[in-house]
Amino acid sequence: MERFWHSRGAICFPGLGYICSWRVVDSVVVVTLSGDGSVNLADSPFLRACRQEPASHVPVWFMRQAGRSLPEYKAVRGEGTILAAIQDPERAAEITLQPVRRYGVDAAILFSDIVTPVFAVGFGIDITPGVGPTCEQPFATSADLERLRPLDPETDLAFQAETVRTLVAELTIPLIGFAGGPFTLASYLVEGKPSRDYAKVKALMMGQPDLWHQLCDRLADLAIGTLTNQVENGASAVQLFDSWAGALRPEHYREYVQPHSTKVLTAMADLGVPRIHFGINTGELLPQIAEAGADVVGVDWRTPLSDARQRTGGKVALQGNLDPALLLAPTDVLEREVRRVLDDNGGHPGHIFNLGHGVLPQVDPDQLLRVVEIVHAEGRTDGAAS
């Protein structure tokens, strides 16, 4: 932990708490931090922005902030599959905390994956390094529905509950839980691997609509079980990642996907936490993404925040939307583009700064640190909330 600052007479480690005790062991100072829930998370800049309320600064976190761009991630990730690391609460909690310590971001995101619940019910899915989720036997017929049995969170996701509880005990910023959206998860199950054209999944969706809706209903139940498990154990917000939904035209999204996302997001409303709904290439779908029941809509870099606000009728907060490739540009170019995103938001209180998609593995962590510095120093939330 190299980075800390003095605050209110105590030494504060960004996102992790204040020193409440210290001792010396073998010439090393061991400190205990106060992350005991004494901080009022409801008033954190992140949760205030989710509610479109002004805050002390514009909050910022990054999708895929944990991961291969961090040397400390590579050090603890281990040789096994990523799903093995996810099922190890101590390792998963440590990986979740790494970007919080390094960047001083305003929210942590649970280290897990969108396929975790599908894996947990034994569908037969893995994550192949450098490729993504893969299934040896993709979903093809109604017989495959049996491979998606109902989730029993207490047994299937006990590791996740433990990771979340460990994190919540340590963090002084909100923890975001997440699940995969119906189209994105179905795309991996039906295609059996990442796809460019989504040909198989679209063929099933439009050619066998009854089977499609049965599949998505099961995927929605898995998402609800996962997210409920995360929130009941202390997550402060949830994000539904329907990353690839932008491959659909709005009428098809409305007919085949939106009812299932609405089911998930409506179930989350009962739990009382903000719901972020995200996909890339969704400029044309933003009204429906919001309408499905989001408090915050994720926007990718193709749509200016000012346009996104109009398309969503000002009813939701926005999260985004720096092009992740800009993190590979010279720092002065990056700085200019960060300021452009802030300007485009125009001081509206409902803005959570993020990338338009995840951090790329080859990014220099110092570039992300610079983004956080600028957003915290220059982002303002005094514009009109309309």
Instruction: Kindly determine how many residues on this chain lie close enough to bind ligand CP3 according to the rule CB under 6 A.
Output: 24
- Binding test (CB under 6 A) with ligand CP3, winner from 111, 119, 123, 212: 111
- Binding test (CB under 6 A) with ligand CP3, winner from 39, 53, 54, 64: 64
In the set 103, 188, 253, 256, the catalytic residue is 188
Tell me if residue 91 is catalytic.
Answer: no
If binding is defined by CB under 6 A, does position 242 make contact with ligand CP3? no
If binding is defined by CB under 6 A, does position 82 make contact with ligand CP3? yes
Nearest residue (CB) to ligand CP3, 133 versus 349: 133
Select the residue whose beta carbon is closest to ligand CP3 and give its number. 243
Partners of 23 in the beta sheet? 30
**Among residue numbers 301 through 360, which ones bind ligand CP3 (CB under 6 A)?**
358
User: Cβ 21 to ligand CP3, closest distance in Å?
Assistant: 30
Stretch that binds ligand CP3, among 62-70, 161-169, 281-289, 375-383 (CB under 6 A): 62-70
Q: Say which amino acid occupies 112.
A: S
Task: Mark 210-228 as b/e (b = at least 16 C-beta within 10 Å).
Answer: ebbbebbbbbbbbbbbbbb
Question: Would you give the binding string for ligand CP3 spanning residues 247-286, x where CB under 6 A is met?
Answer: ----------------------------------------
Tell me if residue 197 is catalytic.
Answer: no
If binding is defined by CB under 6 A, does position 207 make contact with ligand CP3? no
- Binding test (CB under 6 A) with ligand CP3, winner from 67, 89, 350, 379: 67
- Which position has the token pair 């202390």? 234
In the set 73, 106, 113, 253, the catalytic residue is 113
Tell me if residue 77 is catalytic.
Answer: yes
Does residue 219 contact residue 148 with C-beta atoms inside 8 Å?
Answer: yes
Q: Which residues lie closer than 8 Å to 275 by C-beta, 6 or more apart?
A: 237, 238, 239, 240, 265, 268, 269, 293, 294, 295, 296
Distance between the two ends of the chain, CA-based, in angstroms? 41
- Binding test (CB under 6 A) with ligand CP3, winner from 133, 182, 298, 349: 133
If binding is defined by CB under 6 A, does position 114 make contact with ligand CP3? yes
User: Cβ 70 to ligand CP3, closest distance in Å?
Assistant: 9
Nearest residue (CB) to ligand CP3, 371 versus 381: 371
| The token pair that represents 373 in the structure block | 């510095």
- Binding test (CB under 6 A) with ligand CP3, winner from 113, 170, 295, 335: 113
If binding is defined by CB under 6 A, does position 65 make contact with ligand CP3? yes
If binding is defined by CB under 6 A, does position 367 make contact with ligand CP3? no
Nearest residue (CB) to ligand CP3, 18 versus 111: 111
Tell me if residue 198 is catalytic.
Answer: no
If binding is defined by CB under 6 A, does position 91 make contact with ligand CP3? no
Stretch that binds ligand CP3, among 65-73, 252-260, 298-306, 338-346 (CB under 6 A): 65-73
Neighbouring C-beta atoms of residue 229, cutoff 10 Å: 22
Tell me if residue 249 is catalytic.
Answer: no
**Among residue numbers 171 through 190, which ones bind ligand CP3 (CB under 6 A)?**
178, 184
Q: Write out the residues near ligand CP3 by the rule CB under 6 A.
A: 63-68, 77, 82, 109, 111, 113-114, 127, 129-133, 178, 184, 194, 241, 243, 358
Q: Residues with catalytic annotation? A: 64, 68, 77, 113, 188
